[in-house]
Amino acid sequence: MFLNQFLFLAAILFCIGVYGVLTRKNGVLVLMSIELILNAVNINLVAFGAFHQHLSGQVFALFVIAVAAAEVGVGLAIVLLIYRNRRSINVAEANILKG
C-alpha cells in the first residue's frame, strides 16, 4: 500500500475543490467546495500520521474538522446576511470593493 495513493487522492480532491471555488457563483456551493478542500487536507494529515505512526496527524485532523465547523457556521451567517440584503447570493455581484 503506497503512501502516494492517499496523497494523490487528496491532491485530486483539492484540485476539484479549487475548481469548485473558482467557478461556482452560488455562495453555499463555494462553501461546499471549501469543505472539500479541507477534507483533502485532512486526508493528507491522517495519511502522514499513519505513515509516521504518530498520533499528531490524527489530532490535527480533528482540530481541522472543528475549525471547519466554525468556519462553515460563520460563512453561512455571512451568506445569509448577503442574501437578506441582496436577495441573491451570487458572489459576482458583491463587488463593492472594486478599486
Cβ 98 to another protein shortest distance, Å: 3
Cβ atoms of 28 and 89 closer than 8 Å = yes
90 three-state secondary structure? strand
Residue 86 in contact with another protein, rule: CB under 8 A:
no
Report which DSSP code applies to 91.
G
Instruction: Work out the number of other CB atoms within 10 angstroms of the CB of residue 67.
Output: 11
Residue 15 in contact with another protein, rule: CB under 8 A:
yes
Cβ 27 to another protein shortest distance, Å: 7
Residue 4 in contact with another protein, rule: CB under 8 A:
yes
Residue 22 in contact with another protein, rule: CB under 8 A:
yes
> One-letter amino acid identity for 43?
I
Binding mask 23-62 for another protein (x = CB under 8 A): xxxxxxx-xxx-xx--x--xx--xx-xxx-x-xxxxx-xx
Residue 85 in contact with another protein, rule: CB under 8 A:
no
Cβ 99 to another protein shortest distance, Å: 3
Name the helix (H) or strand (E) containing 93.
Answer: none
Residue with cell 505513515: 51
